[in-house]
Structure 1
Amino acid sequence: MLAPMRTLAGLAVLVLLAAGCSTEQPDVAGAPPAASGTTPSAGAPALEVAVVADGLDHPWDVVQAPDGTLLVDERGGGFTAVLDDGARAVDADLGDLFADGETGLMGLELDPSFADNRRFYSCQGSQDGEIVVVAWTAAPDWSSATRVADPLVGGIPLNDRSGRHGGCRLRFAPDGTLLVGTGDTADGSVPQDPRSLGGKVLRVDPATGERQVLTLGHRNVQGLAVRPGTNQVFAVEHGPDRDDEVNLLRDGANYGWDPDGDGSYDESVPMTDPAIVGAVAAVWSSGAPTLATSGATFLEGEEWGDYEGLLLVALLKEQGVLALRLDDDGALQEQFRIPELEGVGGRLRSVVQGNDGALYLTTDNGGGEDQLMRVTPR
C-alpha cells in the first residue's frame, strides 16, 4: 500500500545562537542543553536551513541519486522519493518488516553504479528473527522499488523482544565493498563473539553477499563515514551512560566492548575495556553524559570555508551536530557544535552530504512530524 504523499516546504530557518550535548533514549525528546566545546573560527560560513520534506515519521537515512533525487526511509516502514516536482511514496514490499523499539527500516546506501543499475541497499529488521541487508532496484520514475537480492546478507542478530541495539548503518568503502555497522542486540555475549555478526562492522561483496567481519567489540554502530581521498573509515556508536565513541576502523581490530557478565548484559563496563589485549582506543569519546551520536559524514567543497574537511556527527538527545577536526592520521584536533544547527529540528538521526554538495539532515522526533532538511552555506 502506498504511503501518504509528503509535502515540500521552501521555508528557510536561520538560527544564530549556539547550544549543545546525550544519553541513549531513542524516542524521548528533550530541550537541548547548554553549549560545550570550542566555537567555529571566523572563516566558518553562515548556514541556511530549508525543509524539503515533512510529515515523516522517524526517518532513518537519506541518500541522493545522481539525478538529484533524494531517497529517505522511515523506521516503521516506507521509502519516499523527493524529486524536483514534489515528494512521492515509493511502492515497495515491506510486508516482512520487523519494526519495534530501535529496530526497523534503517540504513540506506546507493550502489556506486546506481546511474546504470538503479540498485540501492537497505538494512532492516525481519520477522524471520534477524536483521538483513536487502538489495533493491528503483523504477526509473521512482514509483516503485523491487527486491533483487532478498536478502543480500542475513544472519545479523535481532532482539525480537524489544528491538534494542539493532544498528544498522550502510556505506561503501573506497575498495567497492559494502560496509555494514551492526548492534549487539543488548546481548553481552555478542560483541566479542567472532561467530556472531552483531556488534561488528562487516565487509560485504555487493554482488555475491559474501561477507567477513572487519571489526568487532562494538555496542551499537549508528554511523559510518568514509574520509574523502583516503581509505579511512570512521564508525560512530552509542555508549551506555557515558562514552559515545568515534572509532577509526582497522582491519581485524577489537574496539573493546565486552558486557558479558556471566550471562547478563553488564553495562557498567568501559566502552573500551583496557583488559582486552589490543583493544583500540576511540578517536573521540563523549565522556559523561553521552550525546546519543548517530549518523556521520565528512564535508567537502571550498564553499564550506573553514568547515571543509570536518567530520560531522548527528546528535539525538543533544539535538544538534557535533563537528570534529581530525589530522591526517585521524587524531582529534578540535571539536565544537555547529551554531545554526543547535535544536533546529529536534533530535537528528542522520547527516549526509549529497552529491550536490549540500548537507542533508533527518530528524527523529516521531508523531509524523519529522523532516528532511537541506543545509547550505550562504
Structure 2
Amino acid sequence: MAAILLTAGCSGAASEPGPGAAAPSVPVATPTGAPELAVEVLAEGFEHPWDVVQAPDGTLLVDERGGGFTAVLPDGAVREVAADLGDLFAEGETGLMGLALDPAFADDRRLYSCQGATSGEVQVIAWTVADDWSGLTRTDDPLVGGLPLNERSGRHGGCRLEFAPDGALLIGTGDTATGSAPQDPGSLGGKVLRADPVTGEVTVWTSGHRNVQGLAVRPGSGQVFSVEHGPDRDDEVNLLADGANYGWDPDGGGSYDESVPMTDPSIPGAVPAVWSSGQPTLATSGATFVTGEQWRGYDGLLLVALLKDQGVLALRLDDAGAVVEQFQVPELDDAYGRIRTVQQGDDGALYALTDNGDGDRLLRITPRG
C-alpha cells in the first residue's frame, strides 16, 4: 500500500455512478482566496470502508462495512487491527459503520463503533485499543443496544457517531425502511440519539429522519448538523435542536411510502432543512467542518461527502446556520469515485474514504502553499 502524491484533479478510482445519476446541480468552483489542494493516497485495497478517525498520536483507524479494522501509523505503516467481529451483521447498507474516539482517548484508549449484530439489532460497542494498535478488546458489549435493524436487506441502518460539545455521544440512526419509525417516539429508528458514553443511557434528541449518514459539530458554536439521504429527491442537511422533528413520515397505512416529502409541512412544527439537494439527489454522506488559517478560503466550511455525485460538497453557513454559498470541491470532483466519509483530523488535514467497492482508498487532503 504505497503512499503516492497525486496532482490536483487527476484521475483516480474508476467512476461508479449511482442509479439515476445526472449532471451536478451544484457548481464546481473554488472559493475566493482558497488554496489549491494536494491529494495523497495513504492506503488502498479497502472494500467499502465506512469511517475514519485520527488518534492524538496521529494514527488513523479505518473500518470496512463488511468487517475489519485497519490502522495507518504515523510512519506510514499499514496494519490490520485484530477485533472480535464474529457477531457482525453485514448486509446491504448495514455492517460495521460509524466510529468515534473518546475525548479522553489519550488516557483511556476507548473507541466506539456502531454496527449491525446477528442478534437482530444495531449496537454501539465500546472497545479498548491496544497501545501498539495491534488489536481491539470489547469493554461494553454493547454499550447501546436495541437500535432497529432491517434483517431482510440491511436497508437504512444509519449509523454515524459524533461527540456533542457537552460530552454526549450522538448516534444517527436510519428508519430501516419502516414507515412508522421516524415519527414513533417508541422507536429508535429515524432519530438522532444522545447516549451517556459511560452508562449507555439513551434519550431521543431529534426525530423525523430518513437515514442519517453524517453528523458534524460546528467548532465554537455548539451547533450540530445532520446529513441524510432523500428518496429520489431532497438529500438534506439539518441544524439539530433538542426535541425537533425534521418531518419524514413515510407511513402509508403500514407501507413505506417514499413519495412523501422529506420534510412534510403537514407535521406540526416540522423543521425545514438548511440545505436540500432538490432533484436529483447527490447521495450525501459523512460530513465535517474544516478549520484553520492554512485553509484560507475553505476555513469554516461544512464539507459533505457525495456518493452518487462522486465528490465533496462545500457549504458556507452564516452564524444562524443558513447556507450562503455552495459548490463542489474541484480537486475531488469525479476524480476518485464515490466518497463515503470526509473528516478533519487533529493534525488539521482532511481525510476521505472512497466507496467504490474494490480497491478503495484513504485520501489525505491538504492545502498547497
Q: TM-score range by the shorter chain?
A: over 0.9
- For 2:62, the equivalent position in structure 1 comes to 72
In structure 2, how many angstroms separate the alpha carbons of the residues matched to 1:273 and 1:40? 34
How far residue 343 of structure 1 moved from its aligned partner, in angstroms, is: 1.5
- For 2:3, the equivalent position in structure 1 comes to 9
How far residue 29 of structure 1 moved from its aligned partner, in angstroms, is: 8.2
The 5-angstrom pairing of residues 1-378 of structure 1 reads 7-15=1-9, 28=18, 33-34=23-24, 36-37=26-27, 39-83=29-73, 84-367=75-358, 369-378=359-368
Amino acid at match of 2:322: A
**Could you report, residue by residue, the CA deviation over 1:154-193 in whole angstroms, capped at 9, with x for unpaired residues?**
0000000000000000000000000000000000011100
What's the C-alpha RMSD, in Å, of the aligned pairs? 1.6
TM normalised by structure 1 equals: 0.93
Give 3-state SS (helix, strand or coil) of 2:107's partner: helix
How far residue 13 of structure 1 moved from its aligned partner, in angstroms, is: 3.6
How far residue 42 of structure 1 moved from its aligned partner, in angstroms, is: 3.0
Give 3-state SS (helix, strand or coil) of 1:261's partner: coil
Amino acid at match of 2:218: R
How far residue 40 of structure 1 moved from its aligned partner, in angstroms, is: 2.4
Q: Is the 8 A contact 2:179 2:254 kept in 1?
A: yes
Amino acid at match of 2:65: R
In structure 2, how many angstroms separate the alpha carbons of the residues matched to 1:42 and 1:56? 35
How far residue 230 of structure 1 moved from its aligned partner, in angstroms, is: 1.3
Q: Is the 8 A contact 2:18 2:307 kept in 1?
A: no
In structure 2, how many angstroms separate the alpha carbons of the residues matched to 1:136 and 1:338? 35
Query: Given the superposition, is the C-alpha separation of residues 186 and 34 from structure 1 closer, same or farther in structure 2, using an over 3 Å criterion?
Result: closer
* Structure 2: stretches of 5+ with no match in the other structure: none
How far residue 33 of structure 1 moved from its aligned partner, in angstroms, is: 3.7
In structure 1, how many angstroms separate the alpha carbons of the residues matched to 2:32 and 2:10? 14
Q: Is the 8 A contact 2:8 2:36 kept in 1?
A: no
How far residue 9 of structure 1 moved from its aligned partner, in angstroms, is: 1.7
Amino acid at match of 1:14: A
Give 3-state SS (helix, strand or coil) of 1:306's partner: helix
Query: Given the superposition, is the C-alpha separation of residues 221 and 108 from structure 1 closer, same or farther in structure 2, using an over 3 Å criterion?
Result: same
How far residue 11 of structure 1 moved from its aligned partner, in angstroms, is: 3.0
Query: Given the superposition, is the C-alpha separation of residues 186 and 323 from structure 1 closer, same or farther in structure 2, using an over 3 Å criterion?
Result: same
How far residue 37 of structure 1 moved from its aligned partner, in angstroms, is: 3.0
Amino acid at match of 1:352: Q
How far residue 34 of structure 1 moved from its aligned partner, in angstroms, is: 4.8
Q: What number of residue pairs does the alignment pair up?
A: 363
* Structure 1: stretches of 5+ with no match in the other structure: 1-6, 18-25
Give 3-state SS (helix, strand or coil) of 1:264's partner: coil
Amino acid at match of 2:267: I
Q: Is the 8 A contact 2:173 2:192 kept in 1?
A: yes
**Could you report, residue by residue, the CA deviation over 1:190-222 in whole angstroms, capped at 9, with x for unpaired residues?**
110011111000000000001100000000000
How far residue 39 of structure 1 moved from its aligned partner, in angstroms, is: 2.6
Amino acid at match of 2:48: H
Q: Is the 8 A contact 1:81 1:142 kept in 2?
A: yes
TM normalised by structure 2 equals: 0.96
- State the percentage of identical aligned residues: 72
Give 3-state SS (helix, strand or coil) of 2:183's partner: coil
In structure 1, how many angstroms separate the alpha carbons of the residues matched to 2:256 and 2:19? 26
Query: Given the superposition, is the C-alpha separation of residues 30 and 361 from structure 1 closer, same or farther in structure 2, using an over 3 Å criterion?
Result: farther
How far residue 16 of structure 1 moved from its aligned partner, in angstroms, is: 7.2
Give the stretch that moved more between structures: 335-344 or 244-253.
Answer: 335-344
In structure 2, how many angstroms separate the alpha carbons of the residues matched to 1:242 and 1:168? 21
